[in-house]
């Protein structure tokens, strides 16, 4: 885009003027609302829309008004607000100065003849990293009531947000929905980190609308599948893993090709054990500051351990040397910032951190040069916190939020691939792709007063068509994982339920139930199959984990 004067008419200025005239100046500080309005008025100028939405999230309009209220002239205020905006974003300084000027004009702080900065350079995929952006995820739903505090950790929805900012260098291999490799691959997310009480609001988005986020599908209600109390044939406990410290198990991850399993604990540590012997494998890894560990993941090559804490930071360690490699702090509002889920892409080059402040952050993993900002930040289109995140075998990314929404993303570009909905507006506490990537299992969970199992449902979705099917209500479900055709679910009632899943027809039949020997108030909090399917580790909310030999 060639440089031009503010005196020249431009669609962005016209759109901002119309929006402020109709909705008032306050809309310039409401990212989601502004994004929806601008997308309607500027359908062919999405790069500028994304920059304006980012400015709304950064409160540029408020800064302008504060500077002028303190006696600063409007032109200087625009330059100062633009420079500050540039310091906190990935956009170029020229683009940020132009955005601040346009907002000052829309607020009536500057005369229409003001000409101080050129419009931003053209933004295209693969262009200069400072200005590369992803397609704007648009929500047509107004933000509903916010969930109340949720026991084990906060689950209040984050502030309303509606933009995704991409930095060049996002490299994730794999074609979408291709046939998976022949060996067992374990794909899981979801942990009993908190329970979900308080008011909720279902999404009000239409099923499909031109210009909105793809297709939105709700699962069919169906009829619950019965669950058998019988322990599955071949499953038996071979070891109890007790760290000897009070806590609550929140997540499980395995070092590929070994019998070593890692278990994250609410006491702030990650413990490693040899599942074959039940003995500890070295000293625990501990996050600083007395914070809780809510999620862990291990890189596909088995070299890196990631642990996300209750304050929104993910710590990386080299497992062999036990040396820290990086501390990745999630951006965005400090309110409700917490790492709720972690997952590595299958090539190990990308790590996603799902945060309670309303975004899924994709980090480029490079031990030689760890980033300070995520390569891609996917803001939840409904304005809710993001509880769960998982990659398919072909690195399609699925995220689940506090309001019952599931979004499918292309992590290479940030493009949306679909929107799935679980009825009731309850937090999507766990997601798991089948080995072949054809089926996505999704579960909800929240604690009910006086009822330890809480409430929650299990659904299956076909990823290609987005068709969904209700499977069962077994209380709150805190974790899911596939191992071949077996799907395991950690329940707030103190059991691990197993189903045999037919991915082609979305059918699931009970394969038995594993009772936890000493379940806590929220039951089984996490689980994880070993990559070869030989063992299943379940962790309860009393701070113990158990190794089950599967047969």
pLDDT at 141 over 90: no
Q: What is the pLDDT of residue 366?
A: 86
| Residues 6 or more apart in contact with residue 369 via CB below 8 angstroms | none
Tens of pLDDT along 240-296?
999 988 889 999 999 999 999 999 999 999 999 999 999 999 999 999 999 999 999
Q: Give the C-alpha distances (Å, rounded to integers) separating 289 from 16, 311, 324, 355, 482.
A: 44, 10, 15, 19, 34
What are the residue boundaries of the structural domains of the chain, listed by start?
11-120, 164-176+229-549
User: How much is the average pLDDT of 196-218?
Assistant: 31
- Strand, coil or helix: 49: helix
How many other CB atoms are found less than 10 A from the CB of residue 250?
Answer: 32
SS3 state of residue 483: strand
Give the distance, in angstroms, between the CA of residue 73 and the centroid of all CA atoms in the same chain: 42
Mean pLDDT rounded to a whole number for the chain:
78
Q: Residue 71: pLDDT above 60?
A: yes
Identify the sign of the CA torsion 230, 234, 239, 243. negative
Going by C-alpha positions, the residue among 379, 477, 455, 403 that lies closest to residue 156 is 403
Range list of β-strands (E), 255-292 = 260-265, 269-274, 279-280, 285-286
pTM of the full structure:
0.63
pLDDT at 145: 27
- Whether residue 151 has pLDDT greater than 90: no
Answer left, alpha or beta for residue 234, where phi above 0 means left and psi between -120 and 50 means alpha: left
DSSP H or E segment with residue 410: strand 405-410
Q: Is a pLDDT exceeding 70 seen at residue 96? A: yes
Q: Which two tokens stand for residue 539?
A: 């962790």
List pLDDT tens digits, range 326-360.
Answer: 999 999 989 899 999 999 999 999 999 999 999 99
Q: If DSSP states are collapsed to H, E and C, what string results for 451-466? A: EEEEECEEEEEECCCC
In which band, very low, low, confident or very high, does the pLDDT at 501 lie, cut at 50, 70 and 90?
Answer: very high
The mean per-residue pLDDT over the stretch 70-82 comes to 79
In whole angstroms, what is the distance from residue 241 CA to residue 390 CA?
26
Question: Nearest CA to 31 among 358, 415, 355?
Answer: 358
* Nearest-angstrom CA–CA distance, 446 and 427: 7
pLDDT of residue 376: 96
Give 504-543 pLDDT, tens digit per residue: 789 999 999 999 988 777 799 999 999 999 999 999 988 9
Q: How many C-alpha atoms does 206 have within 13 Å on its Cβ side?
A: 6
CATH, domain range 164-176+229-549? 2.130.10.10
Which of 6-10, 133-137, 377-381, 539-543 reaches the highest mean pLDDT?
377-381
């Amino acid at each position: 885009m060639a440089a031009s004067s503010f005196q020249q008419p431009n669609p962005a200025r016209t759109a901002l003027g119309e929006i402020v005239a109709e909705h008032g100046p306050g809309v310039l500080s409401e990212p989601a609302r502004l994004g929806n309005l601008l997308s309607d008025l500027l359908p062919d100028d999405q790069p500028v829309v994304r920059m304006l939405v980012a400015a709304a999230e950064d409160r540029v309009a408020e800064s302008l008004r504060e500077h002028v209220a303190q006696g600063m002239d409007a032109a200087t205020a625009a330059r100062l607000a633009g420079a500050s905006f540039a310091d906190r974003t990935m956009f170029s300084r020229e683009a940020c100065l132009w955005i601040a000027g346009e907002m000052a004009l829309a607020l009536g702080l500057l005369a229409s003849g003001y000409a101080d900065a050129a419009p931003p350079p053209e933004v295209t995929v693969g262009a200069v990293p400072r200005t590369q952006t992803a397609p704007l995820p648009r929500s047509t739903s107004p933000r509903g009531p916010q969930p109340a505090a949720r026991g084990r950790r906060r689950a209040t929805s984050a502030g309303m947000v509606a933009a995704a900012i991409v930095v060049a260098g996002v490299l994730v291999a794999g074609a979408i929905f291709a046939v998976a490799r022949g060996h067992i691959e374990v794909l899981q997310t979801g942990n009993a980190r908190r329970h979900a009480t308080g008011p909720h609001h279902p999404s009000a988005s239409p099923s499909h609308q031109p210009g909105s986020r793809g297709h939105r599908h709700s699962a069919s209600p169906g009829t619950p599948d019965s669950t058998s109390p019988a322990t599955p044939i071949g499953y038996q406990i071979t070891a109890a893993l007790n760290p000897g410290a009070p806590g609550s198990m929140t997540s499980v991850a395995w070092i590929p090709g070994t019998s070593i399993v890692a278990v994250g604990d609410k006491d702030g540590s990650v413990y490693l054990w040899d599942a074959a012997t039940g003995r500890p494998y070295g000293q625990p890894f501990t996050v600083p500051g007395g914070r809780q560990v809510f999620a862990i993941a291990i890189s596909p090559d088995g070299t890196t351990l990631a642990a996300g804490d209750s304050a929104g930071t993910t710590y990386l360690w080299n497992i062999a040397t036990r040396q820290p490699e990086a501390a990745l702090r999630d951006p965005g509002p400090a309110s409700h910032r917490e790492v709720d889920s972690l997952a590595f892409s299958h090539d190990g080059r990308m790590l996603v951190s799902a945060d309670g402040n309303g975004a899924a952050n994709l980090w480029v993993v490079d031990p030689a040069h760890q980033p300070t900002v995520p390569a891609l930040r996917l803001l939840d289109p409904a304005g809710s916190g993001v509880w769960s995140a998982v990659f398919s075998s072909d690195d399609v990314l699925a995220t689940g939020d506090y309001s019952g929404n599931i979004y499918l993303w292309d992590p290479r570009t940030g493009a949306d691939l679909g929107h799935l909905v679980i009825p009731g507006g309850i937090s999507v506490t766990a997601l798991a792709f089948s080995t072949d990537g054809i089926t996505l299992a999704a579960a909800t969970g929240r604690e009910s007063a006086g009822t330890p199992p809480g409430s929650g449902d299990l659904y299956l979705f076909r990823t290609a068509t987005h068709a969904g099917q209700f499977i069962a209500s077994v209380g709150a479900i805190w974790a899911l994982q596939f191992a071949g055709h077996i799907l395991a679910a950690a329940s707030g009632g103190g059991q691990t339920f197993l189903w045999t899943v037919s991915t082609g027809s979305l059918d699931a039949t009970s394969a038995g139930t594993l009772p936890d020997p000493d379940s806590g108030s929220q039951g089984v909090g996490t689980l994880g199959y070993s990559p070869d399917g030989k063992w299943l580790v379940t962790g309860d909310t009393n701070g113990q984990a158990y190794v089950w030999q599967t047969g």
